[in-house]
Amino acid sequence: MRKFSSYGPIDKTLHYHAPRQELIDLAYQQLLAGHYITVWAPRQTGKSWVMLEVARRLHAENQFEVAIITIQSAKSETAAAGVLQVLITQLSMWFGREFPIIQKWSELVTLFSSAHFSKPLILILDEFDALSEEAINMFANEFRTMYMMQRNRLTRENGHLLHGLALIGVRSVLGIENVSGSLFNVQRGLHIPNLTEAEVMGMLAWYEQESGQLFEAGVKERVYYEFRGQPGLTCWFGELLTETFNQHHATITRRDFDIAYSAATDALPNNNILNIISKAKQEPYRQWVLELFKTGEKQRFHYDNPQLNFLYMNGVIDQDVVSETERYLKFPSPFVQKRLFNYFANELFHGLGRLFDPFESLADVFTPQGLDIKALLRRYQLYLQQNRAWLLKDAPRRKTDLRIYEAVYHFNLYMYLQQFFQCKGQVYPEFPTGNGKIDLIIRHNGRVYGLELKSFADESGYREALQQAAMYGQQLSLTEITLGIFVERVDEANRLKYEAVYHDVTRGVTVTPVLMETEL
C-alpha cells in the first residue's frame, strides 16, 4: 500500500501522487524541440520530480543522451575552476565515463562535443540557483552562445551536441537579481504550480480506495483549503493524517483532522515552513510580510519588485488574481499564514507581564450567561494603555511614517488572549481570505465565540466590516459575533456612535462593535 511522502522526489510505485501529465508533456515537448528552459517554483512543489519524469521519458526513447544532475555543492565555490569541476564530476558520475578538466568558462562548450557524446544531449541541472550570481551569469552567457551556435549552424559538424537544456531553481533565475540585465534571453520559463483541488482530492480518494478507510464529509475539502495544494505541505499533512495521527478507525473524522492540524501548527518541525519563516523574518522582506497582515486594503502584486519577487519565489506570498488585469498580494495558504502569524506573535510578545491581579475578580468577563467579549476587550485596552511604553518600545514601525504596523496590535491581542485564558479555554486565529483578514476564535466552556479584527479607516470601511462580521458569524453558525476595531483615539461621542449594536436581519447575526484605542 502506498504512503504520502514529502521527502524528496516521490516514487510512483510507493507514494500517492498526482500524475501531472500535462505539465510533464509541456516540458518534454520544449526539450524535444531543442529549447533551453528554466523550471522554477518554491521549494517542495515537485520541480525535480516533474523533470525526472521528463528525463525518463526521453531516455526510454533512446534518441538522446539524457542527464539530470545537481550542482548545489558548487554554491560555495567562487572561482570558475571550482564550479566547473563540480559539473565535470557530476557528469562523470552520471554517465560513468571521464570528462576533461576545464579551467575557463569559454571551455564549457568543449564538454558537449562529439568526443564525449555519440548522440545529442539533453541536460537538466537541478538546484541551479544555489550558485552565486556571478556563476549563474557566466553559465548563462556560455549557454546562450551555445544556443545561438546550435540555431545558426547548418550542420552539426564542428559544433556541439547540447540539444536541450533545463535549469531548475526556486526562482526564475537569469536576470531577476542581475542589475545589468539577463544575458540568457533565449530561455523559456516553465512554472510548476500547486496541485489543483481535483488533484488533491484524487490522491485522498486513492488512499480511501487502497486502505478502505474513508474520510468524514468535509475533511478532504479542508485539506485542500488549508494547504491550497502546495505539494510538499499537502503530502506532509497527508502523512500526519493517515499515519502519525491515524486512529485506524473506519473513518478519519474532523476531530482527527483537528488533532493532526494542531500538531502541524504548534508542535512539529517542517523544513518547508522553517524555510518560509527564515525568509519572511529577514529584512527588507519582513516589512512586506507585516504589511500583508493589514486588514484595511489590498496591495498590488508587482513581479518586477525584487523584494516581492524574493518572497513569491520562496513561497511566502502568492498572487491573488481578482481579474485579468488585477493582481494583489496574499499569503499562499491559511496554514502558511497561521504559522507566520504565530511566529511573529511569539517573537514580538513572548512576555506580556501581569494581565491582572491574582485576587482580582474576573466576573465581568466570566458571567453566568457566558463570556462577555466586550468586557474582555475593555480589559485589553486598559492593559495596552498601562503597559504601552515598554510593551511597544521595540515594535516594528513602517519606514514611511514611523507608525507601528497594524499587525503588531493583532499579534499583541492574540497573545494577551492566549495568556488570559491559559487552561480556561482555547484561542486560535483564522484567516478566511489569505490577504489580511484575521479572525480569532475563542472556545470556552463548550461554546464558540467569534472575534473579527479590523482597524478603523473610514465610515464606509466600518460599514463594510459590520457586514463581513455578520457573514462570518453566519459561517460559524453563530447568532452573535464581536467586531474588534483598533483606532488610535476616539472621543465619547464617536465611541457611542460606532459601538452601536448592528443587527443583520438577513443573516440572523448580531454584531457588537468594540473600539480599542491604541494611543494614550
366 & 251 share domain: no
487 & 396 share domain: yes
* CA separation for the pair 442, 385 (Å, rounded): 23
Instruction: State which of 268, 291, 311 marks the end of a domain.
Output: 268
Handedness of CA 67, 72, 75, 78 (dihedral sign): negative
pTM of this prediction? 0.88
Give the chain's domain count. Answer: 3
Task: pLDDT band for 87, please (50, 70, 90 cuts).
Answer: very high
pLDDT tens digits along 59-78: 999 999 999 999 989 988 98
Asked if the structure places residue 330 within a domain, the reply is no
Q: What is the DSSP letter of 15?
A: B
Asked if the structure places residue 289 within a domain, the reply is no
Asked if the structure places residue 277 within a domain, the reply is no
pLDDT tens digits along 356-412: 888 889 999 999 999 999 999 999 999 999 999 999 999 999 888 888 998 999 999
CA atoms within 13 A on the CB side of 420: 25
Helix 406-421 to helix 373-391 angle, to the nearest 10 degrees? 120
44 & 101 share domain: yes
176 & 232 share domain: no
Instruction: Let me know the angle formed at the C-alpha of 501 by 495 and 504, rounded to the nearest 5 degrees.
Output: 140
475 & 365 share domain: yes
Task: Judge contact between 209 and 202, C-beta under 8 A.
Answer: no
* CA separation for the pair 520, 517 (Å, rounded): 8
Task: Judge contact between 293 and 438, C-beta under 8 A.
Answer: yes
CATH number at residue 114: 3.40.50.300
Instruction: Let me know the angle formed at the C-alpha of 328 by 322 and 333, rounded to the nearest 5 degrees.
Output: 90
Q: How many residues does the chain have?
A: 520
Asked if the structure places residue 325 within a domain, the reply is no
CATH number at residue 210: 1.10.8
29 & 178 share domain: yes
| Domain housing 240 | 197-268
Please tell me the predicted confidence (pLDDT) of residue 187: 56
Instruction: Let me know the angle formed at the C-alpha of 265 by 262 and 269, rounded to the nearest 5 degrees.
Output: 120
pLDDT tens digits along 454-487: 988 889 989 999 998 999 899 889 999 999 999 9
pLDDT tens digits along 270-287: 999 999 999 999 999 999
Instruction: State which of 221, 252, 268 marks the end of a domain.
Output: 268
456 & 417 share domain: yes
Asked if the structure places residue 8 within a domain, the reply is no
446 & 470 share domain: yes
With a cut of 80, say whether residue 296 has pLDDT above it. Answer: no
pLDDT tens digits along 207-228: 999 999 999 999 999 999 999 9
C-alpha separations of 239 from 153, 200, 221, 245 in Å: 52, 13, 16, 9
Please tell me the predicted confidence (pLDDT) of residue 312: 87
Asked if the structure places residue 281 within a domain, the reply is no
Asked if the structure places residue 253 within a domain, the reply is yes
Question: For the sheet containing 188-191, what is the strand order?
Answer: 65-70, 121-126, 162-169, 36-40, 188-191
87 & 160 share domain: yes
pLDDT tens digits along 134-168: 898 899 889 988 988 877 765 555 578 999 999 99
Q: What is the mean pLDDT of the chain?
A: 89
92 & 77 share domain: yes
Please tell me the predicted confidence (pLDDT) of residue 439: 87
Residue 330, Cβ density class (10 Å: 0-12 exposed, 13-18 middle, ≥19 buried): buried
* CA separation for the pair 98, 112 (Å, rounded): 13
pLDDT tens digits along 331-361: 999 999 999 999 999 999 988 999 988 888 9
The residue behind cell 488549508 is 226
Asked if the structure places residue 306 within a domain, the reply is no
Please tell me the predicted confidence (pLDDT) of residue 416: 95
Task: pLDDT band for 179, please (50, 70, 90 cuts).
Answer: very low
Instruction: State which of 268, 299, 329 marks the end of a domain.
Output: 268
177 & 237 share domain: no
217 & 354 share domain: no
